[in-house]
Chains A and B, each alone.
Chain A
Amino acid sequence: MSDGVLLLAAWLAGFAGMGWFALAMETHWRQACSEAAGPPAARLRAAGTIALTASLALCLYVDHPSMAALVWVMSLAAAALAVAFLLSWRARWLRVLLFGKPRN
């Protein structure tokens, strides 16, 4: 696979990770789903951690470690911005990260 595709995958993993971290928070969970029940916070955070780690692994696979570290940190910043703006603009779209139905 080309580096571009792998880096896109790294960013998407970062985006998913940041999204899960956001959904693990009560306020943002309510923005995304009008579920009565609160977020399965522990599971969402675990998923977030795995996704961010995967994102780092992909960055390391593509570039020299010194470069990969910077690419990863900056791509997380971009991912966090994207999640934040999505939450304030089309919060429900984030449900895509819950694969359609909020799990409890």
Chain B
Amino acid sequence: MFQTFRQAMTWLHTWFGLLLGFVLVVVFFFGSLSVFDREIDRWAIPESRFAPQPMPSFDRVLRPVFESMQPSRESVDLMRDRVNGPMPEHFDVVRQWSAYTTHRDPVLGLFAGYEVPNAKDPEEAVWGERTIDPRDGRVLSDDHFKIGSQFFYPLHYSLTLEWREIGYWIVGFSALMMLVALVSGVVIHRKLFRELFTFRPDKHQRSVLDLHNMTGVVALPFHFFFAFTGLVIFAGIYFPLTETQLKPLHDRHERIEAAETGLPHDRAGVAAPLASVDAMVAEAQRRWHARGMAGDVGFLSVQHVGDANAYVSVYRAGTDRIALTGEGIHFKASTGELLREDPPATTVDSVNEFLTGLHLQHFRHWLLRWFYVLGGLTGCVCITTGFVFFVEKRKRQHARQDSRGARLVDAMAVTTVTGMLLATLGILIANRLLPETSPDGWPGRGDLERYVFWGTWALAMTHAFWRGAPVARGERNPAWREQVLAVGALAVLAALLNWATTGDHLIRTIRAGYWPVAGVDLSLLAGAAIAFLVARRLARRTPPRARTEPAHV
């Protein structure tokens, strides 16, 4: 079929790149936004705009909140057909309480898992979730949608397609093909080093290809490692051996591990009180300090709450290194007696922790965070220029042959690139405009915000296809320029609405040094400036053969 290896690689790169590029550009863009997910949360929830807080006192602040919690209605509903008999009104047996925070979180997320009586699989639990202000324990409304960490971030790894975890599989397959595209791209390229710094603007197709090659090559280590580590993180989903063939072994291993570590796997069935958790935290911090490590608590959990077998685990927030480690220390909940200190990681574990930590970024390093955004955005430019090159190379030929291929691909490219930006701005604007609580009978505020996101995207798609006729004649789709202009306008509008609805304009946030909100506003304005520059370039009268690059992002 192919005369040379390079031809085969070109075919592979072109077609898989095109098909999965539509997924990958979404993954790259929302991945870039997820680097600052907590900061976007601050922008979206004005009442949480205060400085990050350490883990508060368990005994005084967390315990009363945990004790008042119950599983969420959604979680109970999901469980309903997996029990023999009816579900109870009230869940009394708490399997786990946990609290999680990072060095970027002002508010604190609390989670509680409950045993379900008569569950078909007794391992299953129902879950409840709360967000509190750690300074006083005040509970924040569940309807306040964390757009960054609860929407952009899940979009990045699962496209929020939850049905049968299909989203994870699509993203995983795309990541695998991304690795293929990188390798085949390097094979096709030939002048990898000679053209590393080559960008020739105003050379039409050549410029697009230059930009594609350059953004692909300079960030090659980034692209490679992020696609690869993304797969490592979800290896358990892609190879669910411990849930399928090896389930008996897995369960046995859990029990043996419990026996070895002294951390009980099951409840004893005997009630017991909970000693002071604050004292255990203080002891854990003393032990970390003795090992020369920063001692902020990142994750705190109580297992088998209320039982004689209950134990408390305290994990460190690993802000000072890449590896995602916790150096967990575990105590008997009823007495505060030390049960176990996690030993130093083995080599395999260390490699795994480094790889997952590299991707999940718990570290405290603002420059590296911004470098990650840069890496992600170069990925977007690389994929976008790939689309544009695909269309430019074919559209005149398709016009002659009366084929619709180029028009279709071009409209899809407009949809995924500028349409995605519009949808992102749409949800931010909806967040600022929707009333604090939805009227009776309406979906919740968070749901409405999501509908605006998908609605905007659908509108952008309609627009892209409706305006696509010129491509079939070998010309440019005016939707590119129109949507880029809309991106610019909406980005400015979003920043202005933040000012109008919260009073937090840039002068105030910068003067107060409140960078989470100032940073989002500045990024919106910078994005708007780039959008207007790109729109101006796209407006330049160019002969049909000459097309400037529309890729920005």
Interface residues in chain A, defined as those with a beta carbon under 8 Å from any beta carbon in chain B: 4, 7, 18, 21-22, 25, 27-28, 63-64, 66-67, 70-71, 73-75, 77-78, 80-81, 83-85, 87-88
Which residues of chain A are within 8 angstroms of B221 by Cβ–Cβ distance? 73, 77
Which residues of chain A are within 8 angstroms of B371 by Cβ–Cβ distance? 70-71, 74-75, 77-78
Interface residues in chain B, defined as those with a beta carbon under 8 Å from any beta carbon in chain A: 194, 196-201, 214-215, 218-219, 221-222, 320-323, 354, 358, 363, 365, 367-368, 371-372, 374-375, 378
A-B contact pairs, 29 of them (CB 8 A): A4-B367, A7-B367, A22-B196, A22-B197, A25-B197, A27-B198, A63-B365, A64-B320, A66-B321, A67-B322, A67-B368, A70-B358, A70-B368, A70-B371, A71-B367, A73-B221, A74-B368, A74-B372, A74-B374, A74-B375, A75-B367, A75-B371, A77-B221, A77-B371, A77-B374, A80-B218, A84-B196, A84-B218, A85-B199
B365–A71 touching, CB < 8 Å: yes
A83–B197 touching, CB < 8 Å: yes
B199–A66 touching, CB < 8 Å: no
Measured CB to CB, the nearest residue on chain A to B361 is A70
Which residues of chain B are within 8 angstroms of A27 by Cβ–Cβ distance? 198
How far apart are the CA atoms of A21 and B194 in the complex, in Å? 10
Which residues of chain A are within 8 angstroms of B323 by Cβ–Cβ distance? 66
How far apart are the CA atoms of A27 and B365 in the complex, in Å? 37
Which residues of chain B are within 8 angstroms of A64 by Cβ–Cβ distance? 320-322
Which residues of chain A are within 8 angstroms of B196 by Cβ–Cβ distance? 22, 80, 84
Q: A7-B367, A88-B201 are in contact. Are A66 and B354 (CB under 8 A)?
A: yes
Measured CB to CB, the nearest residue on chain B to A10 is B367
Measured CB to CB, the nearest residue on chain B to A75 is B371
Which residues of chain B are within 8 angstroms of A21 by Cβ–Cβ distance? 197
How far apart are the CA atoms of A67 and B378 in the complex, in Å? 21
Which residues of chain A are within 8 angstroms of B198 by Cβ–Cβ distance? 27, 84, 87
Which residues of chain B are within 8 angstroms of A22 by Cβ–Cβ distance? 196-197
Measured CB to CB, the nearest residue on chain B to A18 is B197
Query: Within the complex, what minimum Cβ distance (angstroms) separates B312 from chain A?
Result: 29
Q: A77-B371, A81-B214 are in contact. Are A67 and B321 (CB under 8 A)?
A: yes
Measured CB to CB, the nearest residue on chain B to A85 is B199
B222–A74 touching, CB < 8 Å: yes
Which of B197, B215, B219: most chain A Cβ within 10 A? B197
Measured CB to CB, the nearest residue on chain B to A26 is B194
Which residues of chain B are within 8 angstroms of A81 by Cβ–Cβ distance? 214-215, 218, 374, 378
A84–B214 touching, CB < 8 Å: yes
Q: A74-B375, A81-B378 are in contact. Are A25 and B219 (CB under 8 A)?
A: no
How far apart are the CA atoms of A5 and B153 in the complex, in Å? 32
Q: A77-B371, A81-B378 are known contacts; what are 8 more A-B pairs with Cβ within 8 Å?
A: A63-B365, A67-B322, A67-B365, A74-B375, A77-B221, A81-B374, A84-B197, A87-B199
How far apart are the CA atoms of A80 and B222 in the complex, in Å? 14
Query: Within the complex, what minimum Cβ distance (angstroms) separates A24 from chain B?
Result: 11
How far apart are the CA atoms of A63 and B365 in the complex, in Å? 9
Which of A63, A83, A84: most chain B Cβ within 10 A? A84
Query: Within the complex, what minimum Cβ distance (angstroms) separates A32 from chain B?
Result: 11
Query: Within the complex, what minimum Cβ distance (angstroms) separates A93 from chain B?
Result: 14
A77–B365 touching, CB < 8 Å: no
Which residues of chain A are within 8 angstroms of B320 by Cβ–Cβ distance? 64
Measured CB to CB, the nearest residue on chain B to A23 is B197
How far apart are the CA atoms of A81 and B378 in the complex, in Å? 10
B322–A70 touching, CB < 8 Å: yes
How far apart are the CA atoms of A49 and B375 in the complex, in Å? 23
Q: A66-B354, A67-B365 are in contact. Are A77 and B218 (CB under 8 A)?
A: yes
Measured CB to CB, the nearest residue on chain B to A80 is B218
Query: Within the complex, what minimum Cβ distance (angstroms) separates B455 from chain A?
Result: 35
Taking a contact as CB atoms closer than 8 A, the residue among A4, A71, A88 that contacts B199 in the complex is A88
B218–A66 touching, CB < 8 Å: no
Measured CB to CB, the nearest residue on chain A to B354 is A66
Q: A64-B322, A70-B322, A84-B197 are in contact. Are A77 and B378 (CB under 8 A)?
A: yes
Which residues of chain B are within 8 angstroms of A28 by Cβ–Cβ distance? 197
Measured CB to CB, the nearest residue on chain B to A22 is B197
Measured CB to CB, the nearest residue on chain A to B372 is A74
Query: Within the complex, what minimum Cβ distance (angstroms) separates A19 from chain B?
Result: 9
Which residues of chain B are within 8 angstroms of A70 by Cβ–Cβ distance? 322, 358, 368, 371
How far apart are the CA atoms of A38 and B365 in the complex, in Å? 42
